[in-house]
Each structure stands twice: as structure tokens, then as C-alpha cells.
Amino acid sequence: MAPPERLDRYPPDLSDEQLYSLVTEIKDWQINHGSLLKVIDTEIEHTVLSHPVGVACFPTLFPRARFSQALDVQEIYNRLYCSVGEDEAWIFNAIRDLIPAEPLADVLWKIHQAAKKSGSVQDISMGIFRSDYMLHLSDEDLDSVPSSKALPETTLKQVEFNSFSCSGGSHANKVANMHHYLTQMGAYNVDDSSFDVESLPANKNIESIASGLALAHRTYGEPRSKLAKQTAVLFIVQPYNFNIADERPIEYALWNREEPVPTYRLDWGPKLLQYTRLTENRELLFQPPWLLSKDPIEISVVYLRAGYEAKEYNPTGYEARLQLEKSAAIKCPSILGHISTFKKIQQALTLPGALEHFLSKSDAAALRETFVPIYPLDKTDAGLYARELVRDKEHSVGYILKPSLEGGGNNVYGEEIPGFLASVPESQWSKYILMKQIDPPMSSNILMSSAGIDSGDVVSELGVLGCCLWKANPSDGGCDMLHNSVAGWTFKTKHADIDEMSVVKGYGCFGTPRLVDI
Amino acid sequence: MAPPERLDRYPPDLSDEQLYSLVTEIKDWQINHGSLLKVIDTEIEHTVLSHPVGVACFPTLFPRARFSQALDVQEIYNRLYCSVGEDEAWIFNAIRDLIPAEPLADVLWKIHQAAKKSGSVQDISMGIFRSDYMLHLSDEDLDSVPSSKALPETTLKQVEFNSFSCSGGSHANKVANMHHYLTQMGAYNVDDSSFDVESLPANKNIESIASGLALAHRTYGEPRSKLAKQTAVLFIVQPYNFNIADERPIEYALWNREEPVPTYRLDWGPKLLQYTRLTENRELLFQPPWLLSKDPIEISVVYLRAGYEAKEYNPTGYEARLQLEKSAAIKCPSILGHISTFKKIQQALTLPGALEHFLSKSDAAALRETFVPIYPLDKTDAGLYARELVRDKEHSVGYILKPSLEGGGNNVYGEEIPGFLASVPESQWSKYILMKQIDPPMSSNILMSSAGIDSGDVVSELGVLGCCLWKANPSDGGCDMLHNSVAGWTFKTKHADIDEMSVVKGYGCFGTPRLVDI
């Protein structure tokens, strides 16, 4: 490892020739490994353009202890969200006020109720989760003179928890491999603070996620319907998706296994109802016109990478999702698992005793360490306190108002909150949570995407992927874990002056932490 | 395997939905696996566009026996060209008339002579070869009524032999993997003549070529210069190459080996002289500004993917190639190995007794089976015969006039030959060879590239890659083989009415043979 003092000027200044060589290596690597996005609207029958996904040119300094901590708590988070996903009453209580205000919550809850009426024919569920964190400077460090350490003392704070259609796993895997290659071939040896490839954690997201889906597939077992001779995993995807380089590698990995797992993809929408159907016993049969086998294929696992926007739930979307939910296939995830992704759930889990409802005291404590204060805007005590905070600009500094939907695009920051809320009918306030802002330390990097290349202060977000399979245990209202693992991690970096982390919108860049002992 | 009679209507007719599904699978696979070309002139510092390389949508029917034959003779071809590359007198005799007419032959011979004056400090050479074939209908079959067989009887005929900068290996590898995936996942099961994945031969080009270079690297041994602490393979490439997806995978494979082989790339041209130098003992040292290690790297193997056009040999290009040739690095290939790629050599090897000069009678016979008649246009008996043939349109039908340079872009066909030659001074005729045209059987396929998608009659070219390492044996003027292997194959398909097979120009498409026992 480099002597710590050298980390102060990391990454090193590059000559034009060095930068040219580095970005050429990066672009070529990305083209060869599918670290790409389709260029929107360029796809025609016979061809399509693509360009490299945004990446950080250097690995980003990150404290090893915080990285380990994030990985260490993931299996507890997995257990927590499996349990939440089986606790209908708890979920309803948490989102009761959200349902009338948020169309997606409303339609998902309706589908859940409709499916419940039919009774469940599958007591096993799957989850692919991603818990996102940022480093947080302690208040002391914020005010103190710059320390002599390479990195300041920080704590690990959760930004959000995603239980539905988690993306970025494949891109993160590819970019981690790229930084590994660039380190190995000496692209970063531009001064004498060269670093060892061992400081870059390995990334096996694609293999791990495929392995989790393969386990669910095996757990489903032989075809139950006499009409089908084989089973397969079905990916439900958005049509015309330009981000196929994140989904497809998991399909290829399933086909590439020593015991290949047949995997097909199907667009969300009318095709879903055209090409799948339920048998009397609710096996989900798949028979698209492009696979002219005489026998339909029985779907073992439905993996959803679509259906996360309210607008997808027109009557066809509603019927399609209901059919999946009612089916005997293992859902990744179930409707209740999907609802667990709302930020109202994240907020409800910060309430006193909430974690302890699901976890042991020590596990609850380990998770709570990663929490920042989150408040509802309702009329509970916590809600009234939050309403007080956002009454004026002065007090709302240091908070973020977030809608309960996923993605960071609609957040409102600090002083802008009171004005924004004044424009929203109070009946709609339950859509939002108020979250204490995380103050991450700055780091330096060069970020490169189709939008440009720029060096400067950056902040990073570490996502930890979890993969689990569980069986509902009605006797105690909980769940029996069949599989619980840390599947890997994602690492996104953005310029410090940008609020959004979205990679597909061009703000965030995939990268790799360079772990250092501070 | 499908019953032979079903092959008559292969590939099957596709509905719009089936075609849409198939081409979507193909484009997505290509993006994820770097089966791409950079779009020319779109590269800027921070990004570059790429599009899928042209591919055949279906594997192409090909007789198993002819495929095996092509693989079987490759080790003999390897030995032949290793021997040719060590036989200066034989080469000179073959290209004597070419030198005054062909600038590339002229400059390469000059470099050879200049290097020879310094004496050799490396008696080991490497070759990565590609022998290209087409199927040839026997004259009887040409005239007969269509046979009831799926494929007509054919023989295997060599189109050309490439000993320099052979391309297509990585693309062929990727596309073979793609057809394997598409077959496995049932994309071709559009009627009941589905076929087994076993009928598609495996392709390991990338691994094999990397393995050959790694062996050469190990054979070179420890650094000889005291200035260097490590050795590495150096790829010499054309600047601004849009076909990096064919070169880069070999570099990545070398870095990815269990014992990684350091591999760097360097542009042909001024950088080659700026960043490499010869020590007094002619070790080749590499020290570019983008690798700021204090110590230069000693080059073990120079792999040339540039320098195949006369225009690259301005004074800088001349000096650069001479420096490489004089160095102690193992050259892949040497200058004489490079010269062996001229079609004049191919023609000279068809002369009576030529093969027997290098090979046993039985080996010579095995290669000669793959020859079609090739003539010079000089004043030897063979040349005079050829001059007679091309005197009028009637007799020149069924022949192709080819310049001695590589690539098929400048060929002249049949009736056009007399008119063309009339426009060329007789002193330049020695640049050309006259080759009997190969009559390949038609096959059917759907070809897709950025230029469009079209189904119809196609013809294919099978390339067999060879990889060898040898030591000059001055005692008998021959060479001792240190390694001799079949490295893999390429398979290109074009519409039958197009003369050129160039993939980068958009005519030829990469594909996979579907082997059938006719």
C-alpha cells in the first residue's frame, strides 16, 4: 500500500499523454466488455449504436472499515426485508397513508389484495436487494481544521434500501473488472504512489445474482403442469430498454452455468398476457411465437426488472402483474416485497422498536448505526416534529425531502423545502419523508461519460447487493431463510455539486473503491 | 441431427415476430460481448460510438468432412510457412520480379537486407497464420441436375494464405459463442428441424492465440538487459483503429492468464521510435510516458498488427520496422515471414516440386489437394500459358487476376481481365497472379450488418488459424519447430453476388459453420 501521506494528492496530475492513454484504455475496455448503453432512439431492425457508460477514471479512495461494515450488515438487512415482506399487517400500517396519495402504492396494494383473495400457491419468495450508503462526516470533523489523515473519520449511513428491480449490478461488475485490469497493467502508476491490485475488492455480482436465481429455479423443482416438459426463469423487462447491458449478463450467466438454467425475457405489457397463461393450478406457462417448441415452458422464477412506475399499471399492466402474483412461480420479488422498497418503509423502520419487531437487539443495533433520522410528515409525534422543521428555511437546512418512489430525481433540498411544500396540498404530504442530509467527505477523481470528462471533487455511494430465498412460515408469521448471502456491491460516484446519482441520466459514474486503512 | 431432407429449406422462413426476436437477441448479445466496431470518426476524448459487426443470423451449413480436412492440414501448412520464412534464397527467387513492381515488397526486402547486415541476435520466430478456403463444386456437379443430397459434393480449395497480421480471430470467436448461445436457448427452433448445439464447432481463437504469444514470451526468458526488470509482449497497432474489438481481446487474455503476461500496445509510426530503443546488445526497451515506472520494459515478443500497407513505410515507418527486426525480441512475424504472405509465394508453391522442397511427399500431396491452378504472368512456361489465357475474354472466364498484396479489394474477374491488363504496363504484370476461380456452392442465410439485413444466397470462406514458434536451424537451412498448433478458425459469409469478403467494409459477415454429414 502507498504511504498514507501520498493519498493527499490522489489521483495524481496527468500529462495530456497520460490522460489520452488512460481514456483510450478505458473506452476500448468498455467496448470489448459491454460496459455500454444503447444510444436512445438509434435502434433499428439491423443495427443500434452504443456508447460507454459513465465511469470514474480512477478507483476512489474509501475506508476499508466502512466497506467491511456495509458488507457485514447485509445479511441482517436481508433477513429484515424478508421478514417485512411477509408481514402484511406491519406493511399496511406503514403505508396506510401513502396509498391514497401515491398511485403506485395504491395499485400494488390492490394487486396484493386481489391475489390474496385467490390464496397463495407458492410460499417461497426471492429477493435481490441493494442497500445504498454514503460516508458521513461526524459533526466534529465537519467543523475541525483539515486532519492530517488521508481520509477523515466517517460513519456509514444508509441512503435507501431497494427491494425491487435493483439495477447496476452488472455494470458495477464490469467496471470493477476494468479498474482491476487498469491497475494490473500499470495505468495508474503515473507517480511513485502506485497501488496494489489487492486494494480493489473483487466483484462477482453477475455470478452471484445468477447463482441466486439458479437456486430459486432448482428449489421450484420439476414442472408441475403436465403440459410442460421444462421449467425456466422469466425476466420481465421494459420494452425498448437502452440499459440491456445491465440485465442481459445475468441471463447469459444462467445459460452459461455448468447446469444451464433456461432463461427467457418478456416485455412488460400486452405481450406478457399474450404469451403467458395460468393453468388451473396456476402454474405459469410461457409460450411465445418465437420459440416454436410444441410444449409450453413452465416458469419457475419470475424476475422483475419492470413495473416500477405507476404509469406501467394501465389495465393491461394491472392484469399482467396480478397474473404473475397469483402464479405458482417464485416471484423475485412478491408484491409485498416490492412495496417494501418504498421510502415510507425505510422511515417506518427507524421508529422506536420497529427493528426489534423483526430482529434481535444486537442485530437491530447494528442496522440502526447506519440510520440517519428520517421523519414522516404526518400527524404522529415524529411527523409533527418534522412539520416544525420544514416550517422555515433556517431549520430545514440539512434535510432532504424525498418522495416515497425510488430514484433520486425528485428530491427537494434544504431551504427549498418550505416553499415546495407550500405548493403541495397537505393531503399529498404523506408521499414524502424528510431525511437528515448525509454529509459525505469529498474525494477527487476524473469522471468520464458521453456527457464529457471532468476532474474535481466527487462523492460516492456504495450499494451492497443481497440475495435471498425464503419460505413463509405462517405459524409464527415470519419466514424461514433458505438462502441469505451478500451478492456483491455497486459503487457510483458523482461530482460533488450535482445532487443526482443517476447513471443512465449521465450524472453518476460507475467505479471501484480503493480501500485504504485510514 | 436433423434429417438431411429438412436441410433443403434451411434456414426456415421466419415470421416478423420471429425475426424481430432473433435480431434483438443478436444485437443485445453483440453489445454485451464486444462484437462491435467503433463507428469511424466518432471517437472523441470522452466517448465513442460503436455498432455491431456484421454477422450471419443463422449458422451456415457446411460439410463436416471439409471442415475437418481444413483443420487437419493446418499443421502441415504451419510447417511449410515456417520453412519458407527461413529460406531466404527460395523467397528471393519467388519474389525477384515482384520487388521492382511492388513498393511493399521492395521496402520489406530492403529492411530484411539492412537487418541482415547487422546479424541476427534472435533465432526464434513466431507465426500466427490463417489459411483461407472455400468449398469448390466439382465440374460434374456444376453441370448435373440438382442432387437429392442436402449439400453437393465439394472439395476444399485454398483462397489465400496469410502469414502477417491475421485479423478476424477475436470476432470469429465471439460470433461463434453467440451462435452457440442462440442455438442453446432455442432461437433457431423455429420449425421442427431444430439442431443440436454439437453441430457447431467450438472456437477458442482468443485463448489459443494468447497462449501462443505467452509461450513465445516464456521462451524469450528473463530480461537480458540490466536496465530492465521485466519483460512484456508489445502489440504494434495502427493508430485510430476502429477494429480494436479484434485486437484487444488477445491483450486482455494475456493479462488474464493464471500467470499474467504483461502486454502493451504501441502505435505504428513516430511513437514507435520515441518510446522504444535498442540497447547495445539490441534488447528492445519500451518506456512510454504513460507508464511512469522508472525502469524500461524489455520486449520479449513483438506482435505486428500494422505495417501491411506500403504507405506506412515512410522514413519513420522504415526505421521503426528495421529497429524491430534488428532487435532481440521474438518477432511475430519476422520480415521474411511477412514476405511469405504475398500471393507470389502462394503461386510459387504451386510450381512442380516446390512443396517437396520443404515437405515430405505425403504432406505435399495433402496440401496440393487444396490448391487451384495459379499462374504468374511472367515469361516462364507457366507465365506464358497464363498470358495466353488472358489474351481474350473467352479464355479468361473462370479466372481471377489478383495483385500480390493482401485483401480482396483489387481483384479483377474473368472477362474483365484482358481489358484491365491492356491498361497496365507489362513491367507491372509481375505484381499479379492469375488464379482459377473457385466455384462455391450456394447456401442460404440472413446477413445483418450496419448496412442492412437481407436474406438470400450466400457463400462462405473458412479460415484456419495456425500458431507456431520455431528456431532457425542454420546447419540444414531449415527450422526446428518449438510449437505447432491449430489455433482455431474464422468463418465469413457474404451474399453470393458480392465479390468482396471484407467485414470491415461491410460485405462479409462473421458466422459459424453448422457441420453436417452430407
> Is residue B35 within 8 Å of B175, Cβ to Cβ?
yes
Are A290 and B17 a contacting pair at CB < 8 A? Answer: yes
Are B36 and A31 a contacting pair at CB < 8 A? Answer: yes
Cβ–Cβ contact B52 with A under 8 A: yes
Provide the 8-state DSSP code for A312.
G
How high is the mean pLDDT of chain B?
Answer: 92
Cβ–Cβ contact B292 with A under 8 A: yes
The long-range contacts involving B108-117, CB below 8 angstroms and separated by at least 24 positions, are B108/B335, B108/B338, B108/B339, B109/B339, B110/B318, B111/B318, B111/B321, B111/B322, B111/B325, B111/B335, B112/B88, B112/B325, B112/B335, B112/B336, B112/B339, B114/B322, B115/B322, B115/B325, B115/B326, B115/B335
Q: Is the dihedral of CA B492, B495, B498, B504 positive or negative?
A: negative
The Cα–Cα gap between A329 and A121 comes to 9
**What pLDDT is attached to residue B45?**
93
- Which residue is it, cell 459459424? B512
Mutate to test the interface with A, among B27, B46, B255 (most CBs of A within 10 A): B46
Are B28 and A189 a contacting pair at CB < 8 A? Answer: no
Of B514, B446, B453, B506, the closest CA to residue B57 belongs to B446
Are A23 and B33 a contacting pair at CB < 8 A? Answer: no
Rounded to 10 degrees, what is the CA torsion of A394, A397, A399, A403? 80
Are B248 and A32 a contacting pair at CB < 8 A? Answer: yes
Return the C-alpha cell found at B122: 534472435
**What pLDDT is attached to residue B8?**
65
Mutate to test the interface with B, among A32, A195, A238 (most CBs of B within 10 A): A32
Q: DSSP characters for A86-107?
A: T-HHHHHHHHTTTTTT-HHHHH
Residues 6+ apart with CB under 8 A from A98: A105, A342, A344, A404, A430, A431
**Residue A353 to chain B, least CA–CA distance (Å):** 46
Rg (CA), chain B: 23
Neighbours of A265 (CB within 10 A): 21
The Cα–Cα gap between B290 and B282 comes to 23
Positions in chain A whose pLDDT score sits under 50? 1-5
**What pLDDT is attached to residue A139?**
63
For B295, list phi and psi in degrees, rounded to 5.
-100, 140
Position B132 pLDDT exceeds 50: yes
The Cα–Cα gap between B347 and A317 comes to 67
Residues annotated in a binding site of B for ATP:
343, 402-411, 413, 435-438, 461, 494, 500
Between A245, A262, A292, which is nearest B190 by CB?
A: A292
> Is residue B1 within 8 Å of B196, Cβ to Cβ?
yes
Strands (E), A154-227: 154-162
The Cα–Cα gap between A194 and A187 comes to 9
- Which residue is it, cell 465479390? B499
Q: Is B453 helix (H, G, I), strand (E, B) or coil?
A: strand
Q: Taking residues B265-293, report their average pLDDT.
A: 94
Between A31, A33, A252, which is nearest B181 by CB?
A: A252
The Cα–Cα gap between B333 and B85 comes to 9
Amino acid sitting at position B203? N
Query: For residue B256, with 0-12 CB atoms within 10 Å meaning exposed, 13-18 middle and 19 or more buried, which class applies?
Result: middle
> Is residue A26 within 8 Å of A182, Cβ to Cβ?
yes
Return the C-alpha cell found at B303: 506482435
Residue B190 with chain A: CB contacts under 8 Å: 290, 292
Write the ipTM: 0.95
Of A95, A163, A122, the closest CA to residue A324 belongs to A122
The Cα–Cα gap between A476 and A470 comes to 14
**What pLDDT is attached to residue B478?**
83
Are A255 and B181 a contacting pair at CB < 8 A? Answer: yes
Closest residue in B to A194 (Cα) is B293
Between B21, B46, B260, which is nearest A453 by CB?
A: B46
**What pLDDT is attached to residue B453?**
94
Closest residue in B to A242 (Cα) is B28
**What pLDDT is attached to residue B9?**
75
Query: For residue A184, with 0-12 CB atoms within 10 Å meaning exposed, 13-18 middle and 19 or more buried, which class applies?
Result: middle
Helix, strand, coil content of chain B in percent (nearest 5): 35, 25, 35
Closest residue in A to B14 (Cα) is A290
> Is residue B11 within 8 Å of B58, Cβ to Cβ?
yes
Bridge partners of residue A62, in order along the sequence: A515
The Cα–Cα gap between A350 and A358 comes to 12
CA atoms within 13 A on the CB side of B143: 2
CA distances (Å), origin A447, targets A113, A173, A203, A451: 46, 18, 20, 10
**Which residue blocks in B327-409 are alpha helix, DSSP H?**
335-339, 343-348, 354-358, 361-368, 381-389, 393-396
Residues 6+ apart with CB under 8 A from A21: A187, B288, B290
Q: What is the pLDDT of residues B499-508, one digit of tens each?
A: 777 777 778 9
Are A52 and B48 a contacting pair at CB < 8 A? Answer: yes
Q: Is A130 helix (H, G, I), strand (E, B) or coil?
A: strand
Return the C-alpha cell found at A50: 452504443
More confident residue, B295 or B113: B113
- Which domains does chain B carry? 4-366+438-516 (no CATH), 375-436 (3.30.1490.50)
Q: What is the pLDDT of residues A298-341, one digit of tens each?
A: 999 999 999 999 999 999 999 999 999 999 999 999 999 999 99
> Is residue A377 within 8 Å of A383, Cβ to Cβ?
yes
- Which residue is it, cell 488521508? A150
Between B22, B185, B451, which is nearest A255 by CB?
A: B185
